[in-house]
Copies of this chain bind each other. A is one copy, B any other.
Amino acid sequence: MYNYLSGGFSAYLYRDLLLGIRNKTDLVKPLIFFLLISALVPLAIAPEAERLAQLAPGIIWILAVLATLLSVERLFSDDLQDGSLEQMLLSPNMLILPILGKIAAHWLMIGLPLTLLSPLIGIWFSLPVVAVIPMILSLALGTAVLSLIGAVGAALTLPRQGGVLLALLVMPLYMPVLIFGSATIQSAVDGLDWTAPLAILAAFLAIAIALCPLAINAGLRLAKNG
């Protein structure tokens, strides 16, 4: 009596994508969002090309962190409110797969657009061309890690669960991602070997995929005791 509700990865991936993308404009929105935020930076800081180029790696990565933070919050809270979290927790199978499905959908809607858009932002910020490929690769891996870590924070801070302190503990985990992510780009700009920091990001991703779903599972099961 296998049930769609418990259908795991692809079922939740598909549903969350559907929820996010109801019409064509929904697809364009994350792109515009990134364009807008990155347009803020030169307006607030200096618009000279060389100065922007120096800042570019860091800024792109800060953008990635911000966008994840901004969006990951509602990953589970909508489901809690309308009762579909309850239904998900009722699944006879391991929750790991549905959770990963939801996170994958989140990444496809936030991390991937940012990754694809990053060359354009690079042009805006006069980033050297050699750094474009490393930037894309580091973003692809790194934003996935950010989604995973963010989901842990989201599960712990589900409304009224009082996990604020735990969330505070989770947030600093973004720092290593940020450091190695911008280091990848910076190394490429400086003509150094950029595969080393990238490899570290890949390792982060492997660890995060293994551990985060467990933490999220535990966090979600607490939500009902609020």
Contacts from A to B (Cβ < 8 Å):
23-25, 28-30, 32-33, 36-37, 39-41, 43-46, 54-55, 57-59, 61-62, 65-66, 69-71, 74, 81, 157, 159-160, 162-165, 167-168, 171-172, 174-175, 178-179, 182
Contact = CB atoms under 8 A, between A and B. Distances in A.
A69 B35 CA distance: 13
A160 B23 contact: yes
27 contacts: A23-B159, A23-B160, A25-B164, A28-B164, A28-B168, A29-B164, A30-B164, A32-B164, A32-B167, A32-B168, A36-B167, A37-B167, A37-B171, A39-B175, A40-B62, A40-B175, A41-B58, A43-B175, A43-B179, A44-B58, A44-B61, A44-B62, A44-B178, A45-B58, A66-B70, A70-B163, A71-B164
A interface: dominant SS: helix
A149 to B, nearest CB: 12
Contacts of A58: 41, 44-46
A57 B33 contact: no
Contact of A178 (B29, B40, B61, B167): B40
B168 A29 contact: yes
A212 to B, nearest CB: 18
A17 to B, nearest CB: 15
Contacts of A164: 24-25, 28-30, 32-33, 71
B65 A40 contact: yes
A163 B44 contact: no
A167 B33 contact: yes
A25 B153 CA distance: 12
A41 to B, nearest CB: 7
Given A45-B55, A74-B163, A171 B62 contact: no
A164 B25 CA distance: 6
A-B pairs, top 5 by smallest CB distance, nearest first, are A44-B58, A45-B58, A29-B164, A36-B171, A44-B182
A163 B182 CA distance: 26
A59 B45 contact: yes
